[in-house]
């Protein structure tokens, strides 16, 4: 199961062997927490199947959805946390049932210096997230809810490989850390612009 994923990767044979030998499979049910803010037990997740949601959690309890993690991806946040031995500032929850290959963080330092392919993998994970975060910041600075909503819908579509987003306005509002009323209004607007189609508990992206 981990084998087939490693086959598709560009990792060196030796690294593939190490990942196989030192990692372990973790199955997580939909809705379960994978990583919580605060103490970090220190293993790096590599997503084999399913979708994970990564949240930024603020001290006062507010939280915002940062991005989704899909098959083949890893959490850039938890990698730094492990390298720096810092507690994580993010919360990771399973959006669907998920299978993860957990890689003990003890190996990270060595792998990054020993294997060019691993180094590239880590940097690329960062690059991707960094670009994402830049976009998010743009929207935040200009308090552009509509942009964030649209991006959220498209991200969800991408992650679930479906044109149907099966969520209530309330749930969406929580993920974007805004109020339900605002989400309702904006969705109504998007519907009038024929960008989406609404049914109860479900939004179809056109």
Partner DNA sequence: ACATTAAGTGATT
Partner DNA sequence: AATCACTTAATGT
In the complex, which residues of this chain contact DNA (CB under 7 A)? 143-146, 168-170, 177-182, 184-188, 191, 198, 200-201
In the complex, minimum distance from the CB of residue 15 to DNA, in angstroms, rounded to a whole number: 45
Q: For DNA, give the closer residue by CB, 71 or 180.
A: 180
Q: For DNA, give the closer residue by CB, 160 or 168.
A: 168
Q: For DNA, give the closer residue by CB, 28 or 173.
A: 173
Q: For DNA, give the closer residue by CB, 25 or 154.
A: 154
Identify the three-state secondary structure at position 135. helix
Q: Where are the beta strands (DSSP E) in 85-153?
A: 90-94, 98-104
Tell me which long-range contacts 105-108 makes (C-beta under 8 A, separation of at least 24). Answer: 105/42, 105/43, 105/44, 107/18, 107/22, 108/44, 108/79, 108/82, 108/83
In the complex, minimum distance from the CB of residue 151 to DNA, in angstroms, rounded to a whole number: 12
In the complex, minimum distance from the CB of residue 8 to DNA, in angstroms, rounded to a whole number: 38
Output the 3-class SS for 44-95. Answer: EEEEEECCEEEEEECCCCCEEEEEEECCCCECHHHHHHHHHCCCECEEEEEC
Q: For DNA, give the closer residue by CB, 114 or 180.
A: 180
- Write the CB contacts of 128 (distance below 8 Å, at least 6 apart in sequence): 76
In the complex, minimum distance from the CB of residue 58 to DNA, in angstroms, rounded to a whole number: 14
In the complex, minimum distance from the CB of residue 63 to DNA, in angstroms, rounded to a whole number: 13
Structure tokens belonging to residue 202: 């479900």
Taking alpha carbons only, the member of 155, 164, 176 closest to residue 202 is: 164
């Amino acid at each position: 199961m981990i084998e087939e994923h490693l086959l598709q990767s560009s990792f060196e044979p030796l690294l593939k062997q190490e990942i196989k030998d030192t990692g372990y499979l973790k199955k997580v049910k939909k809705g379960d927490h994978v990583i919580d803010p605060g103490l970090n037990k220190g293993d790096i997740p590599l997503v084999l199947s399913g979708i994970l949601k990564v949240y930024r959690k603020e001290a006062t309890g507010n939280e915002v959805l940062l991005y989704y993690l899909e098959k083949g991806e890893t959490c850039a946040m938890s990698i730094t946390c492990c390298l720096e031995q810092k507690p994580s500032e993010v919360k990771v929850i399973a959006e669907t049932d998920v299978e993860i290959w957990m890689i003990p963080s003890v190996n990270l330092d060595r792998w990054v210096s020993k294997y060019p392919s691993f180094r590239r993998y880590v940097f690329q994970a960062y690059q991707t997230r960094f670009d994402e975060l830049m976009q998010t910041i743009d929207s935040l600075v200009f308090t552009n809810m509509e942009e964030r909503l649209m991006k959220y819908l498209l991200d969800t579509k991408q992650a679930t490989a479906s044109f149907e987003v099966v969520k209530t306005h309330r749930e969406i509002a929580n993920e974007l850390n805004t109020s339900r009323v605002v989400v309702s209004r904006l969705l109504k607007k998007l519907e009038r612009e024929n960008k989406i189609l609404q049914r109860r508990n479900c939004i179809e992206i056109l």
